[in-house]
């Protein structure tokens, strides 16, 4: 039996991969570890727009350390369901990261191309440290070696939507993480 995602209409079939409750529980666990690792520090969390904004919002409410946030928008997908392999910065940071403890907050790591590019780009701006937090990791899709520092869930190679992730700018509002069936 296929469980329906909240918000599903009659014309589209979604299969729940992770419920909102499972995501919430895991974010709290991750926040506890990150708060411990950054105790006595004030990290700058850089949210990769647009997909990671829901994750960032829930994560920062669970962290019990002082922090700053900034946003960067990059694209390697366009409106497609496969990465083009070409990463473009659409919106850059509003502040310098030089000398700061930086945590990149990503929704999903699949090919590794976007994060590899961002880590190189942001690393050249001389932060004190630079680590990656991702809600989802799809290691079977890697085109470049990359392992996030903090990972919520490792998932199979399926195209997922909901909880901030989209397909053609649709479905971000779904509270569960769902597989969009063709």
**Where in the sequence numbering do the catalytic residues fall?**
110
Place of tokens 């392999």: 85
Neighbours of 124 (CB within 10 A): 8
Contact (CB, 8 A) for 122 and 130 = yes
**Residue-wise DSSP of 93-156:** -SS--TT-EEEEEEEEESSSHHHHHHHHHHHTT--SEEEEEEEEE-GGG-SS----SEEEEE--
Phi, psi of 117 (to 5 degrees): -60, -50
Taking the C-alpha atoms of residue 51 and residue 153, their distance in angstroms, rounded to an integer, is 16
């Amino acid at each position: 039996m296929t469980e329906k995602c909240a918000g599903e209409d009659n014309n589209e079939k979604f299969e729940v991969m992770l419920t909102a409750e499972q995501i919430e529980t895991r974010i709290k666990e991750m926040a506890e570890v990150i708060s411990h690792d950054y105790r006595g520090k004030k990290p700058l969390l850089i949210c990769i727009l647009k997909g990671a904004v829901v994750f960032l919002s829930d994560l920062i409410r669970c962290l019990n350390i002082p922090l700053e946030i900034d946003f960067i928008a990059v694209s390697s997908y366009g409106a497609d369901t496969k990465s083009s392999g070409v990463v473009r910065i659409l919106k850059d940071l509003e502040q310098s990261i030089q000398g700061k403890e930086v945590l990149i907050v990503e929704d999903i790591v699949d090919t590794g191309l976007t994060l590899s590019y961002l880590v190189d780009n942001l690393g050249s701006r001389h932060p004190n440290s630079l680590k990656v937090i991702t809600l989802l990791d799809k290691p079977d899709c890697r085109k470049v070696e990359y392992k996030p520092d903090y990972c919520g869930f490792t998932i199979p190679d399926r195209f997922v939507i909901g909880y901030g992730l989209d397909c053609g700018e649709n479905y971000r509002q779904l509270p569960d993480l769902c597989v969009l069936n063709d």
